[in-house]
Amino acid sequence: MDEDERARLADFVASRTPALMRVAYLLTGDRHAAEDLVQSALAKTIPKWRTLRHADPEGYLRAVMYREQVSWWRRLRRRRETTLTGADEAVQADLSGNTDVRLAMRAALRRLPPAQRTVLVLRYYEDLTETQVAELLDCSIGTVRSRTHRAVARLRQLLPDVELLEVRP
């Protein structure tokens, strides 16, 4: 890789890492796991950097991240338990806007199984279609729909006081 390629790669990594970390955190629910996911995706993307200069490198990197996360939770037969301190406690009202709703939503998302959380991130945070999600996760559109339905139903169960937007196929 020549100096120009290295500079372009360094600029890309410096400018896009915060956005990639946000997506990785939503996928994993853990900051350290998110850092590992981004690092793993970058390690797989950097050797192919020369062929990506005309394509969308961020799109490619995000697809690698999604596939890495799917591979991780497919390998796990039993999900590690994550201790949620105070998850059952009522969220106190916050005068700074909807912070209480965001914190409650974050805690509820962490309680979802990884497959359901991944589908919600791809559908509603990344704003991908069901077809795109199915292609990225290597599953059927019906699987995407059922996971989305189950995840939203579980969120409604966990957050009965929070009004969730109606989900339409």
Cα distance between residue 35 and residue 25, in whole Å: 8
- pLDDT tens-digit readout, 12-30: 889 999 999 999 998 888 8
How far, CA to CA in Å, does 37 sit from each of 56, 71, 153, 165?
Answer: 19, 11, 28, 29
Share of the chain above pLDDT 70, in %: 79
Cα distance between residue 140 and residue 131, in whole Å: 8
pLDDT of residue 169: 44
State pTM to two decimals: 0.56
- Domains of the chain, CATH where assigned: 1-77 (no CATH), 89-169 (1.10.10.10)
Neighbours of 63 (CB within 10 A): 16
Does residue 136 contact residue 122 with C-beta atoms inside 8 Å? yes
